[in-house]
Amino acid sequence: MQHVLVLNASYEPLNVCTVRRAHVLVFKGKAEVLEQHELPIRTATSTYARPHVIRLLNYVRVPRTVKRKISRRALFARDGWRCVYCGAGTHLTLDHVVPRSRGGDSVWENVVTSCAPCNLRKGNRLLHEVEMTMHTTPRPPSPSLFIRIAAPKIPNTWAPYLREAAAA
């Protein structure tokens, strides 16, 4: 299945959609094609551009506070597939920095990737109680991370748009 990168009117990456969905947006005049495949879409009567990257013509307001659901895949990707405590890359688990039993919430700022041994060692305690430290500060991931997760392989044509987003 082919994926299409959808940019906001501001060129900010928004999400990923199917070629069919992208085609409908372009056909309805809601988006323009920025990058397209060499091979167009052929139907019985017409030929259309096969979009690879599209841009919405009207700006879609994306609330900064929008809660992206926490998944292990997104969490591990955010933390570089490493334990934030010791750097191990195996037996990864989800850890609440402030344990739920101590009032910690399941929010991006309070969940981290932890290897099973560190998770076990920490238990229901706070970091200073077990003299453990994190090598990163947990934050909500950027939209680009979800795009990278949604598309198994990032096509070369997408790279400049995602790079600009990361730098912004």
Which residues contribute to the site for Zn ion (CB under 5 A)?
A: 83, 85-86, 88, 115, 118
Which of 88/154 has CB closer to Zn ion? 88
CB 86, min distance to Zn ion, A: 3
Which of 5/115 has CB closer to Zn ion? 115
CB 113, min distance to Zn ion, A: 9
Residue 32: beta bridge partners? 55
Q: What is the CA radius of gyration of the chain?
A: 20
Which of 31/118 has CB closer to Zn ion? 118
DSSP 42-98: E-SS-EE--EEEEEESSPPP--TT--PPP-HHHHHHHTTTS-TTT---SSEEEEESS
CB 81, min distance to Zn ion, A: 12
